[in-house]
A and B are shown apart, each in its own frame.
Chain A
Amino acid sequence: MELLQQVINGLAQGGIYSLIAIGWTTVFGIVGVMNWTHGEVYMLGAYVGYFLCMAGMPLLPALIIAMAVGAVLAMLIDHLGYRPLRKKRKMLTAGFITALGLSTFLRYSATAAFTPDPRAYPGILDYKMLSLFSMGGSTLAISSIHMTILAATIVIMVILQLFISKTVTGKAMLAAAQDMQTLELMGAESEKLIKVTFAISGALGAAAGVFVGIIYSVNPMMGALAGLKGWSVAILGGIGSITGSLVGGLILGIAESLTAGFISTGYKDAIGFTIMIAVLLIKPTGLMGFRFEEKV
């Protein structure tokens, strides 16, 4: 019974990792930059949602505004941070360092602006434990908030998948993931595609931030670990694969929950990276990756 409950806890937590990883993986898959600022967009999105909710706005509009801010922010980061590098063809050598620098800059600017103290959202979603199954006095339960987030993640994933496979822009993004330069030669505006990619990624990051803020609390350092987790989930699921991110996130969530429950919490954060290294050694394309070798 406890085992099952731990698995359910893990699924609930995994939904959040998936949402973070989807934003991560789209940017890496298409633009090819390890965007370490994703965690910071996630953090800032959480703060936007926090301030709006504190001002009395209901959750849905607050979430949409936070996502819009996240989208603009991610585009701005790309415009100021990555685009100059792309123009000079220095993305491969300097992109990673720029990403780290930007991420540190945003993190500490947020610390200065919002103080390092954690803040809690006002209770805007009812936290109810929904019991799934009862046996011999103990009950399996999942919280309503976690269910909502898991559902939202799946909805977002389906919409994104449809967008990529059905629309021209989406198809162009897919093509860009293959070969940006050839696509440019064929007349597509790669810069525009990249903007769209960053906007989608930023919006998803901000949404994840708001959800996490509601369940837990927000603080300026929250992006650091989220960025790392998102990265290992993206590797696990296969870089560029949206379904892979979802599956990877759920697997990581369950693995962490079981580690914390049955081995030791001390290893909880390590397990994600152990899985990541194992995946890189055994199956570098990840669970659902399909384009990794060609890309690199």
Chain B
Amino acid sequence: MKIRKFLYAATASALAGLMLVGCAAPSASAGSSSAQQPSAAQPSSQAQPITPVKDIEIGLVAPMTGNSGSMGVSQKQGYELAMDEINGAGGVNGAKIVLSTYDDQGDPQRAASGAQKFADNDAILAIGGSCNSSATLAMVPIVDNAGLPELVVSSSSPQLTGSSEYFFRMSVQDAAVGPQMAKALLSRGYKNVAVFYVNNDYGIGLSDSFKGYLEANGGTTLGSLTYLATDQDFTAQITTAKGMNPDAVALCGTMADSGLIIRQLKQNGVDVPVIGGTGLYNAKTIEIAGDSSEGVFVIGVYVANNPDPKVQELVAKYKKKYGVEPDGFAALAYDQMYVIAEAAERALASGELSRETFKEALKTTNYKGVTGTVSFNEDNDWVRDYLTLTIKDKSFVMAE
């Protein structure tokens, strides 16, 4: 026992000593945890960035199979397309970006295992993923503990805001989509709105942010009509809404329920403009709503037929490589890989590329990509403008 205690004390003091000397001495002696501690910079001028000797390794924890598999596959393809371009143009100061993928099947437990696997591997600089909020929430404590920067494209839960200084989000924000919906209606002169919302975190959060902005800017919420995610019959709510004579209807739900509401609104003779959040930006909405979908407004960040030449260039490249048009996740992931490359370059320019310097570099991101200009706020959330889309001839286009 005594010997063990002595050993503890000795180790502790040795570590304390190292920490004190660490600032001045070269860090070669820092041992196993060197990946997380910025080792002292080699003497070099700031203007001459150092070429890293190794590849820049990025991990991706995302569903490749299972219910949400298509989201993960889109993210991976978006990453790969950008990596090909970056590596083809000489990489990040000569270093290639390489990607290893871990399939979490949308399951929070698997996502946590994947995060741990990459966190334990010192060679991994940062990770992407996951897609489902629940899976991402399970990963955050692990990356936070390991000091491993994580970037996501598609977890919208408000719980993730400010969850870790290592967590960066480029996905849609429910709290920002609501005001966008209200703005789009107000700018078109629709002031008295009936709001439908699904009775869960997503629907409540989105409708609250919508109503807040609407009412603060001269609009009126005529009624808040709630429903359950499993509901299929909305005639009761629609009958109530009809009695209110709204100028417009706002939908705070997802594709399946919103598609049915759009259909039933028209069937029951409520013929006013309809607007929905990003949850409606899916081909299924149009399939379920059928002809009634014509003219419905939807908030989004990306649409394949955006006339912006940058978007058209991506669509052409993506189609050539994968045979399909990139969806929103792929486009965001494409931008995200460039954000990663740029941040790695900035970290290198500051003298050393480590998880810590990479995280600091991410904070100063200002990248103009396909999906808008990417920058992060103090919570590492993406602040951005959204697009107002509309459904025309059964596809999403930019609204006028």
Is B158's beta carbon under 8 Å from chain A? no
Q: How far is the CA of A256 from the CA of B239 in the complex (A)?
A: 14
Residues 207-229 of chain A, each 1 if its beta carbon lies under 8 Å from chain B, else 0: 00000100111010110010000
Question: In the complex, what residue of chain B is closest to A115 when comparing beta carbons?
Answer: B67
Q: What is the minimal beta-carbon distance from B219 to any residue of chain A, in angstroms? A: 23
B residues near A212, Cβ cutoff 8 Å: 232
Given contacts A123-B290, A141-B269, contact A266 B256 (CB under 8 A): no
Question: Across the interface, do B239 and A2 meet the contact criterion of CB distance under 8 Å?
Answer: yes
Query: In the complex the two chains form, is B267's CB within 8 Å of A260's CB?
Result: no
Whether A13 pairs with B233 at a CB distance below 8 angstroms is yes
Q: Are A13 and B269 in contact (CB under 8 A)?
A: no
Asked if B235 lies at the interface with its beta carbon under 8 angstroms from chain A, I say: yes
CA distance A127 to B288 in the complex (A): 14
* Whole-angstrom CA separation of A268 from B260 in the bound complex: 18
Q: Please, which residues of chain B bring their CB within 8 A of the CB of A119?
A: 287-288
| A148 interfacial by beta-carbon distance below 8 Å | no
Residues 244-292 (chain B) with a chain A CB within 8 angstroms: 255-256, 259-260, 267-269, 284, 287-288, 290-291
Q: Is B27 interfacial (CB-CB < 8 Å)?
A: no
- Tell me whether A120 and B259 are in contact (CB under 8 A): yes
A190 at the interface (CB under 8 A from B): no
Residues of A within 8 A of B269 (CB): 129, 141
Report, as a range, how many residues of chain A touch the other chain.
Answer: 35 or more
Contact across chains for A266 and B259 when beta carbons are under 8 A apart: no
Q: Which of A222, A225, A266 contacts B199 (CB 8 A)?
A: A266
Whether A120 contacts B236 by the Cβ 8 Å rule is no
**Which B residues are in CB contact (< 8 Å) with A221?**
230
Across the interface, do A260 and B236 meet the contact criterion of CB distance under 8 Å?
yes
Contact check: which of B236, B260, B267 meets A127 at CB < 8 Å?
A: B267
B39 within 8 A of A: no
Given contacts A141-B269, A216-B260, A219-B256, contact A9 B239 (CB under 8 A): yes
A118-B288, A141-B269, A217-B260 as given contacts; A266 in contact with B239, CB under 8 Å: no
Contact of A217 among B199, B235, B256 (CB under 8 A): B256
CA distance A219 to B305 in the complex (A): 30
User: Do A117 and B284 have beta carbons less than 8 Å apart?
Assistant: yes
Q: Does A165 contact B (CB under 8 A)?
A: no
Known A-B contacts A2-B243, A118-B288, A217-B259; the reply to A269 vs B228 at CB < 8 A is yes
| 23 residue pairs A–B, Cβ–Cβ below 8 Å | A2-B239, A5-B239, A6-B236, A9-B236, A13-B233, A117-B256, A120-B259, A120-B290, A129-B269, A141-B269, A143-B267, A217-B232, A217-B288, A222-B232, A225-B230, A257-B235, A257-B236, A261-B239, A264-B226, A265-B228, A265-B231, A265-B237, A268-B236
Q: Which 6 A-B pairs have the closest CB atoms?
A: A260-B236, A216-B232, A9-B235, A118-B256, A120-B288, A261-B236
